[in-house]
Chain A
Amino acid sequence: MLAEAVDEGVKAPPPQAPAKRAAAPSRPVFERLKGWLLFAAVDGRSEPRARANAPFEPRSRRGFILAALAPGLVLLLAAGAVLIRPLPGDPDTLSAIPIEPPSQTPAERKLIQNIAVLREGLWEAKLAPWSSVPARGLARVSNPDVHAALAALLGEIASFADAIEDRAPPGVHRDKVFLGQIADLRTRLAAIDAQLGGMRSVTAYHLGLLALWAGDAADAEPQFASVVDIARKTEPLDAGGRQRLDGIEASATYGLGLAEAARGAWGKAVGDFDAALAAACRAAADGKTNTQADFGFALGDADLVPLDTRSIRNDRLVALLRARGGNDEAARVAVTSPTCAELLSPSGSAPRGDADAEARALFPALSVAGDPTLAANLELRAALMGDGDVVQRLSFDGGDAAAVAAQSLARAIAGLEPAADAGGDGIDRSALADLQKISVLKARLAAQLRSATLSEPESDPAWNWSDPALFAAWKRAIAADVAAELLARAQSVQDENPGLAAALYGVVRENSSWLPATAVFDAAWRLNTGTSLGLVLWLVAIAAVMSAILFALLHRWRQTYRTTFESYHHADRLRAPEG
């Protein structure tokens, strides 16, 4: 472009004759490759135009896009070459499909929400009055006149409690006579409370207890809360005082939990039950024994039942069982009378999984003899899972009315009894009917899995669903569930038993008409490549992110490059009127 000056004393520009360009072969291959790559990706002009630094329009994007995509493509190709291997061997012949039957679907859960006993389980709550007014410590009453009257009144309350079997909501049936008796006790206790000037834990506790029996949870709550407050704020003088305070806190927190449960605040209630257990355990540790008559709250089977029968859905129970290794008697002990250490420790490592799977693990391990409430709860759970055999096996005679009603509901759902009067009053009949149908379908599905003949669930034409979309929604959810189970199972046995894995993938592909298309595609993909679709999608996502980052970098680079070398003046002069 510029001729050289060779005059003496004149600084000559460095040699750059066109002939020099042909001397490029002396450059190393890597350098030339780099030059070619950068030229294609960043410059984007044709070579003659770039050599003359012609305007950047038109500028090719091909090299730029290829350079941005190339690393991602290389990653995909390399991963493909390394990972993709078809499953070796022929598929096994299945005698049963080795997967867990599907668990609850959202459609069922919606139905379950309509029936209280299914939603919350059957539970008992017992809260005993103090057997005697303590002679020492916080709750003592030093006024001798009032002391005698209060002791007599507490005796009455205790005997009344025996008469009603220490029941608290929702298990109690309150008639007018019952409510009148409680109102009388409350009035008399309130009078003594006024005499004492209020703020006594012994009166507040019993006022709360009576309010709870009367079904007046709104009044019970502040009473128990004030007892908890007193117990937490009081400084004990000695170890005995400490123990009493822990005991008072345990029983009052438990009462608070019951009041909250009665108002439907289950989250808060369970938290309070846990706190009550912790305080009771503390008290027990203080006294090196498990029962404390002195503070009125005994940590034993009776008090744990309300907590742990609810725990059929509670991870704590399952964790306890697992810790015990699933041994029958050990499991029974763990559930009904756990030690404090067991109660307090496992919540951290509790499994958070499918309640059905956990319950299924419970069925063989647990004997429910003599515990109708636990049995009824397990029956309900088994019925919801479509496991009629377990419902039959767990059935009991006797027990209280609530347990019997729950058992009849469970049997109705499992199809062992007609549904006409199952479960007593207050049961949503249409939801129950839907649940029965679903239970039948689930039982069918379980039978199919056992006999390795999986086919699409079909609604009986004679059935009337409460909502026509319900069956479709249930089937969709079940299909997704079954497909996921099959794929997961096949994936887990793929390495040691490729034949079984291939057979399971085959099951998914045979049921392509009703299983989700993604799962069917995934099964075909895994069968032919040995890699999961998820892995492939991850690889593609990583490659896409790499390309996006490269794209942004190269784009910025191209902009700088253009800004650096473009001559605005030249373009301007070319367009000038006289130019």
Chain B
Amino acid sequence: MDERGERTGLAGGGAVPRAEDVFGSAPSYRRDTVAATAGTMDSDEQQNLRDLLQLSRQSNRPPIILLFGFSYSGKTALAQRLQDIFQSRGYGISPAVGPKAHAERTSKIQPYWFSHPRRPNDAFILVDLPGERFSRAKEANFSDAVAKETLSLMAAADAYLLLLEADKTLYLDELRGQGAIGDLETKDYQEVVATMVQLAKLDWQLSRKLGRHGDIEGAAKAIAEMKPDERFRELSRGARASRKPVLLGLSIADRLHGNMVELELDILKKRLAARGETRGISDAERATVHQIVANFDRDPLLLINMRQQKLVAQVMSSFRYFRADFLTSFAGLPANFTGAASMTLYPPRGVEQNFDWLREAARRTRGGRLRTFARRSRLLAPLTQALDWLPSLSETIWALWTRASWDEALRNAR
């Protein structure tokens, strides 16, 4: 039993492989180098992107799901897991998702087309949008061609899948205290979360500018001309949040789970020290911690709400329909696994269910030809806007309100 295996506390004592073990790991705090390569676009990617943007203008197109996350948040692993799941359902995926070599880690926008040979209406497009790309667009003040493409993608997206590393999202300060990550990396991750918040804020500004200018050119220009603080302003009074469904995915939860007992015990120790007690941790307290860790993923929305209030508050005010869950693409691989990931070992239903929810919600929100036509027609657009304005019971805020009415944990967290 190796050191990592003992830390997980799982039965069998085997180590759960980390994503890094499978795909290789970035050296700590090397995001800046990755971002630096983002400037160049090969012709293949440009062609892909052109095709995608061309398609996004069609009335009867499959829903586009934007997978947004920074490097090492497990986007490619998730895409690979989804490829495996949908292949077993009879879908064809183009291009095939493959594990990237180390050198390939760029900020490339990669669309994956999922289509079923007999059910054309079930097709969808998953677009891997690296966070670095967004950051770069932001640095360029949303004025260059790359930024325009990012904005076009955001406008075309029917749903967002925001991917965050679970451990850093929930225990960033504790990890720093433990020495697992350095100060720079902590700051870097704070920046990651802040960028997510900015993406959520930009989405409503973008849809507003699109509504005003009609086309993405005008909207991008208007966004570029806005002052940065104005661009990322909170949802203004009277504005209505977007109907795009959002899934907040906490990835690589196996890594979090492996380390969680120690993190929680550290917290406990600090609490004892703060109280001035000199005793060690009792068995009962240890058992409680183990119980907490065993059920850590029971209430993901509450958890992320308590740990990343600003992010959840922004998602809540920018989007009407969202959920949060852990999306660990590689849970269930054998403990001593070191080779290439074989997706058929244990397909996690959690990933499948979460993604099905997102896909179905995206399809419902997008509507068919009729709704697209109504949205684009000058005459009917006010009607669709008015209908979009109406509240519905499928909005997450109702669920949160209901739970807050009886659950003090959620009420106090907010």
A578 contacts B399, C-beta separation under 8 Å: no
Interface status of B14 (Cβ within 8 A of chain A): yes
Interface status of B369 (Cβ within 8 A of chain A): no
Interface status of A34 (Cβ within 8 A of chain B): yes
Interface status of A493 (Cβ within 8 A of chain B): no
Complex Cα spacing A564 to B271, Å: 32
Interface status of B405 (Cβ within 8 A of chain A): yes
If the complex has contacts A20-B412, A35-B405, A43-B402, are A567 and B292 also in contact, measured as CB distance less than 8 A? no
Complex Cα spacing A92 to B153, Å: 85
Segment from B53-61, B221-229, B298-306 that makes contact with A = B298-306
- In-complex Cβ contact of B300 among A3, A20, A567 (8 A): A567
A5 contacts B173, C-beta separation under 8 Å: yes
B394 contacts A572, C-beta separation under 8 Å: no
Complex Cα spacing A559 to B395, Å: 10
A561 contacts B399, C-beta separation under 8 Å: yes
Q: Could you mark each residue 4-40 of chain B with 1 if its beta carbon is under 8 Å from any beta carbon of chain A, else 0?
A: 0000001110100000000000000000000000000
In angstroms, how far is the closest chain B Cβ from the Cβ of A551?
12
Chain B residues in 8 Å Cβ range of A561 = 398-399, 402-403
Chain A residues in 8 Å Cβ range of B289 = 3
If the complex has contacts A11-B173, A578-B10, are A567 and B412 also in contact, measured as CB distance less than 8 A? no
A34 contacts B405, C-beta separation under 8 Å: yes
Chain B residues in 8 Å Cβ range of A51 = 407, 409
Complex Cα spacing A567 to B328, Å: 12
- In-complex Cβ contact of B406 among A10, A43, A559, A577 (8 A): A43
A560 contacts B270, C-beta separation under 8 Å: no
In angstroms, how far is the closest chain A Cβ from the Cβ of B312?
12
Q: Could you mark each residue 543-579 of chain A with 1 if its beta carbon is under 8 Å from any beta carbon of chain B, else 0?
A: 0000000000100110111011101111111011111
In this complex, what residue of A is CB-closest to B414?
A14
A52 contacts B405, C-beta separation under 8 Å: no
B173 contacts A14, C-beta separation under 8 Å: no
> A20-69: which residues lie under 8 A (CB-CB) from chain B?
20-21, 23-24, 31, 34-36, 38-39, 42-43, 50-54
B292 contacts A565, C-beta separation under 8 Å: no
In angstroms, how far is the closest chain B Cβ from the Cβ of A357?
51
In this complex, what residue of A is CB-closest to B16?
A578
Interface status of B149 (Cβ within 8 A of chain A): no
Interface status of B387 (Cβ within 8 A of chain A): no
B326 contacts A578, C-beta separation under 8 Å: no
A567 contacts B325, C-beta separation under 8 Å: yes
Complex Cα spacing A16 to B306, Å: 10
Most B-side CB within 10 Å, residue of A7, A35, A568: A568
Chain A residues in 8 Å Cβ range of B303 = 1-2
Interface status of A421 (Cβ within 8 A of chain B): no
Interface status of B393 (Cβ within 8 A of chain A): yes
Most B-side CB within 10 Å, residue of A23, A51, A565: A565
B10 contacts A579, C-beta separation under 8 Å: yes
- In-complex Cβ contact of B350 among A13, A23, A36, A572 (8 A): A572
B10 contacts A563, C-beta separation under 8 Å: no
Q: Could you mark each residue 206-245 of chain A with 1 if its beta carbon is under 8 Å from any beta carbon of chain B, else 0?
A: 0000000000000000000000000000000000000000
Size bin of chain B's contact surface: 35 or more
A578 contacts B14, C-beta separation under 8 Å: yes
Chain B residues in 8 Å Cβ range of A563 = 323, 357, 399
Complex Cα spacing A11 to B331, Å: 30
Complex Cα spacing A221 to B327, Å: 85
In angstroms, how far is the closest chain B Cβ from the Cβ of A429?
66
B297 contacts A569, C-beta separation under 8 Å: yes
Chain A residues in 8 Å Cβ range of B302 = 53, 565
In angstroms, how far is the closest chain B Cβ from the Cβ of A6?
5
> B283-334: which residues lie under 8 A (CB-CB) from chain A?
289, 292, 295, 297-303, 306-307, 321, 323, 325-328, 331-332
Chain A residues in 8 Å Cβ range of B264 = 2-3
Complex Cα spacing A133 to B401, Å: 93
Interface status of A15 (Cβ within 8 A of chain B): yes
- In-complex Cβ contact of B405 among A38, A564, A577, A578 (8 A): A38
Chain B residues in 8 Å Cβ range of A39 = 402, 405-406
In angstroms, how far is the closest chain B Cβ from the Cβ of A22?
9
- In-complex Cβ contact of A14 among B292, B353, B400, B412 (8 A): B412
Interface status of B118 (Cβ within 8 A of chain A): no
A565 contacts B413, C-beta separation under 8 Å: no
Complex Cα spacing A556 to B393, Å: 6
Question: What are 14 residue pairs bridging A and B, where the CB atoms are less than 8 Å apart in the complex?
Answer: A1-B303, A3-B271, A6-B271, A7-B177, A20-B408, A36-B406, A39-B405, A553-B393, A560-B398, A563-B357, A567-B299, A569-B297, A569-B350, A576-B348
Which residues of A are in contact with B by a Cβ distance under 8 Å? 1-7, 10-11, 13-16, 20-21, 23-24, 31, 34-36, 38-39, 42-43, 50-54, 553, 556-557, 559-561, 563-565, 567-573, 575-579
